[in-house]
């Protein structure tokens, strides 16, 4: 199990979403987006789950967010709604299909998706956000 492996596997799973295919998957919260639909994920927190005499287990919380640039055309805005639903379904399916993230964690659990609007660099985006928790048992060695 490795933290780098967790990040790499999440990136791989998000890059494999095909309906719609993301123009880019960013590791880290983006300050701007070149093209959409795009996806990003970042570490949003780490907490201690439990400890034993020799190690501590942690939960790493990630935020996964997909972005669509808003358009003035009503027809395109309607298409974006279906794209959002399909993307959320693809992300959840990809992450649930390998809860151990290729052996890089003990377990993982995507949360409920929410949607809304977000402005980045003066550009309005429609977005879907999914919290994602990763359990790492025995991830921190306790040395006397």
User: 12-55, pLDDT tens digit by residue?
Assistant: 999 999 889 999 999 999 998 988 899 999 999 877 766 666 66
Summarised one tens digit per residue, pLDDT across range 72-124 is 676 666 788 899 999 999 999 999 988 988 888 888 999 999 999 999 989 99
Domain boundaries in the chain? 3-141
In order of 1, 43, 44, 80, the CA distances from 29 in angstroms are 24, 9, 10, 21
User: Of 103, 112, 88, whose CA–CA distance to 134 is shortest?
Assistant: 103
Reported as a single tens digit per residue, the pLDDT across 71-80 is: 767 666 678 8
Tens digit of each residue's pLDDT (9 = 90 or more) over 50-69: 666 666 678 899 999 999 99
Over the chain, what is the mean pLDDT? 87
- Considering the domain 3-141 in this protein, what is its CATH number? 3.30.70.1700
pLDDT band per the 50, 70, 90 thresholds, residue 2: confident
Could you check whether the bond before residue 6 is cis, i.e. omega within 30 degrees of 0? no
């Amino acid at each position: 199990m490795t933290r780098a492996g967790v990040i790499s596997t999440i990136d791989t799973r998000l890059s494999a979403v095909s309906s719609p295919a993301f123009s880019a998957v960013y590791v880290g919260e983006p300050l701007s987006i070149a093209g959409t639909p795009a996806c990003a994920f970042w570490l949003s927190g780490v907490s201690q789950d439990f400890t034993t005499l020799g190690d501590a287990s942690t939960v790493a919380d990630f935020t996964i967010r997909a972005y669509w640039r808003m358009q003035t055309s009503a027809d395109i805005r309607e298409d974006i709604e279906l794209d959002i639903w399909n993307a959320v379904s693809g992300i959840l399916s990809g992450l649930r299909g390998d809860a151990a993230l290729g052996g890089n964690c003990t377990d993982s659990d995507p949360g409920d998706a929410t949607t809304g609007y977000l402005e980045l660099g003066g550009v309005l985006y429609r977005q879907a956000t999914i919290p994602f928790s990763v359990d790492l048992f025995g991830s921190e060695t306790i040395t006397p």
